[in-house]
Amino acid sequence: MNKKFFVTTPIYYINDVPHIGHAYATFAADILSRTHKVLGEKTFLLTGSDENSQKTVEAAAKKNLTPEKYSAEMAQNWQDTWKKLGIADGEFGFVRTTNPDHEKFVREVFQKIYDNGFIKQGTYKGLYCVGHEAFLRPEDLDSEGNCPDHKTKPQVLEEKNYFFKLSAFQDQIEKLLANPKFVAPEERRNEIVSFVKSGLEDISISRENAKWGIKVPFDETHRIYVWFDALLSYYSGTPKEFWEDGANLHIIGKDILRFHAVIWPAMLLAANLPLPQRIFAHGFFTIDGAKISKSLGNTIDPLKVADEYGIDALRYFLFKEIPFGSDGDFSFEKLREIYNADLANGLGNLISRVAKLAETLGLEANFIEKKPLLDSEFLVHLEDLKFQAALDYVWEKIRKADKQMEETKPWELVKTDPDKAKGVIENLIRQIHEIQELLIPFLPTTAEKISKQFSGKIKSAEALFPRK
């Protein structure tokens, strides 16, 4: 039987359209799902929309829409964006937290955790930030009493809440975190380990008299906390067989690591559900050095970049420029620079020169027929989500082939010694084949174009990456 693998992105809030930071995690998930597919595994990629948030209610009101109507429109918008960006060739799972199946599952889990004795009632007084959908401590606020990230005053809430006994899972969570694979990168794991060491506190998981969200099954005056609901979408949105005997990986941003590495596994333990195996937290992007924010008006629409440069160029830039896991900066200037150097001049140039010479000599190849092989050094980088290292590995091969071409000068040999020229070009075609296979996870459209060009009689074709 085939091995199984699934990968998830966060389920995104839909109070706005996707920006480049969201595309980042989704492309990363796509790279991994394509890799596992090439390895012959049954793969599944899950993304989705986190709709039961107060943000939805506020955004809907601004557009004079009901939260239901607004959510449906936005969920469609996000889904369409991922399709246009070619995520999993359109074959991804998309979970909406307002799906009746998901809601039913969340209520069942809430009930189960209650029955297992891990939910209790209490009164909560605290400062709630809608931007974070979380309580803040007084010491988290800035000098004006605002949330430092959202620059808004938190709401002062005092209400009867249901609490999840997170503190009961202190030992089990510490044990989980002792596994170096559970949370990566290392730096993030250390951060979370020391947070957990400082002692886990019980958390409020319901809101009294809220108007939007999933109702507590045994007390309909309460709605379930949006993170409790959202974290369960990884389970409700994934076909059961993958949770039963598949490997899994969850890609998130570093800002939401506590929810994923602490609260989520504790909830699953409390409900007797299977645990996640690996969580990877990536870093944050700035745009030309500034924080991405709607109010600054500097959000970048990934579809616009893809229109101008191509999806593959955007993917290449994102994973080549910034080590996955670190923070980084997006700028069109750098994008253009890397595009011209590595794609137009590097990869594109090599392919077009070799194809032209092969065409002159009437050579044939059969890239399409062969099942791709990914070599082990490349796979180790991918296994560790070291995308930059994986790309460097491929570009080293491109440079090597280029160098060989410069040294052997086949364009001169074609005139003086066609047999020798043929040998040289055939050797370069073999190298291009290797390169093409390694490009499949990262630059799927380009890999496909090359494979078509090098199947049957080799043809010179339009430039893969026209110079910009």
Q: Shortest Cβ distance from residue 205 to ligand MSP (Å)?
A: 14
Q: Shortest Cβ distance from residue 368 to ligand MSP (Å)?
A: 36
Q: Shortest Cβ distance from residue 282 to ligand MSP (Å)?
A: 7
Sketch the per residue contact string, 182 through 221, with ligand MSP: x for CB under 6 A, - otherwise: ----------------------------------------
Residue 412's Cβ-side half-sphere holds a number of Cα atoms within 13 Å equal to 5
Task: Please give the residues from 43 up to 72 whose contact with ligand MSP meets the rule CB under 6 A.
Answer: 50
Token readout for 160 is 């009867």
Identify residue 147 by its one-letter amino acid code.
Answer: C
Q: Shortest Cβ distance from residue 252 to ligand MSP (Å)?
A: 5
Q: Shortest Cβ distance from residue 409 to ligand MSP (Å)?
A: 46
Measured CA to CA, the distance from residue 273 to residue 232 in angstroms comes to 10
Between 147 and 252, name the residue whose CB sits nearer to ligand MSP: 252
Between 11 and 32, name the residue whose CB sits nearer to ligand MSP: 11
Measured CA to CA, the distance from residue 173 to residue 168 in angstroms comes to 10
Measured CA to CA, the distance from residue 236 to residue 255 in angstroms comes to 23
Contact 185, 283 (CB under 8 A): no
The DSSP code for 254 is G
Taking Cα atoms as reference points, which of 172, 199, 178, 134 lies closest to residue 270?
172
Contact 143, 151 (CB under 8 A): no
Between 25 and 443, name the residue whose CB sits nearer to ligand MSP: 25
The answer to the question of residue 11 lying near ligand MSP (CB under 6 A) is yes
Between 288 and 396, name the residue whose CB sits nearer to ligand MSP: 288
The answer to the question of residue 96 lying near ligand MSP (CB under 6 A) is no
Q: Shortest Cβ distance from residue 455 to ligand MSP (Å)?
A: 38
Helical residues (DSSP H) of 125-208, grouped into ranges: 170-178, 186-197
Contact 294, 62 (CB under 8 A): no
Between 105 and 378, name the residue whose CB sits nearer to ligand MSP: 105
Cα 43 versus chain centre, distance: 15
Q: Exactly one of 110, 285, 339, 387 binds ligand MSP (CB under 6 A); which one?
A: 285
Between 284 and 395, name the residue whose CB sits nearer to ligand MSP: 284
Span near ligand MSP by CB under 6 A; candidates 11-19, 110-118, 161-169, 348-356? 11-19
Q: Exactly one of 24, 27, 212, 225 binds ligand MSP (CB under 6 A); which one?
A: 24
Q: Exactly one of 134, 183, 203, 231 binds ligand MSP (CB under 6 A); which one?
A: 231
The answer to the question of residue 301 lying near ligand MSP (CB under 6 A) is no
Q: Shortest Cβ distance from residue 13 to ligand MSP (Å)?
A: 4
Q: Which helix H or strand E contains 453, and what residues bound it?
A: helix 444-453
Between 19 and 37, name the residue whose CB sits nearer to ligand MSP: 19
| DSSP SS3 for 342 | helix
| DSSP assignments along 34-64, one per residue | HHHHHTT-EEEEEEEEE-SSHHHHHHHHHTT
Between 93 and 346, name the residue whose CB sits nearer to ligand MSP: 93
The sign of the dihedral angle between the CA atoms of 170, 176, 179, 183 is negative
Between 13 and 92, name the residue whose CB sits nearer to ligand MSP: 13
Token readout for 222 is 């309460």
Strand partners, 127: 136, 156
Place of tokens 């593959």: 312
The answer to the question of residue 169 lying near ligand MSP (CB under 6 A) is no
Q: Shortest Cβ distance from residue 153 to ligand MSP (Å)?
A: 20
Place of tokens 């830039």: 317
Give the angle subtended at the CA of 56 by the CAs of 239 and 192, to the nearest 5°: 65
The answer to the question of residue 323 lying near ligand MSP (CB under 6 A) is no
The DSSP code for 345 is I
Residue 209's Cβ-side half-sphere holds a number of Cα atoms within 13 Å equal to 4
Contact 311, 445 (CB under 8 A): yes
Peptide bond into 185 cis (omega under 30): yes
Q: Exactly one of 230, 268, 305, 318 binds ligand MSP (CB under 6 A); which one?
A: 230
The answer to the question of residue 21 lying near ligand MSP (CB under 6 A) is yes
Between 176 and 287, name the residue whose CB sits nearer to ligand MSP: 287
Task: Please give the residues from 235 up to 264 whose contact with ligand MSP meets the rule CB under 6 A.
Answer: 252-253, 255-256
The answer to the question of residue 372 lying near ligand MSP (CB under 6 A) is no
Between 19 and 222, name the residue whose CB sits nearer to ligand MSP: 19
- Considering CB under 6 A, how many residues would be counted as binding ligand MSP? 18
Place of tokens 């890397």: 338
Binding site for ligand MSP (CB under 6 A): 10-13, 21-22, 24-25, 50, 230-231, 252-253, 255-256, 284-285, 292
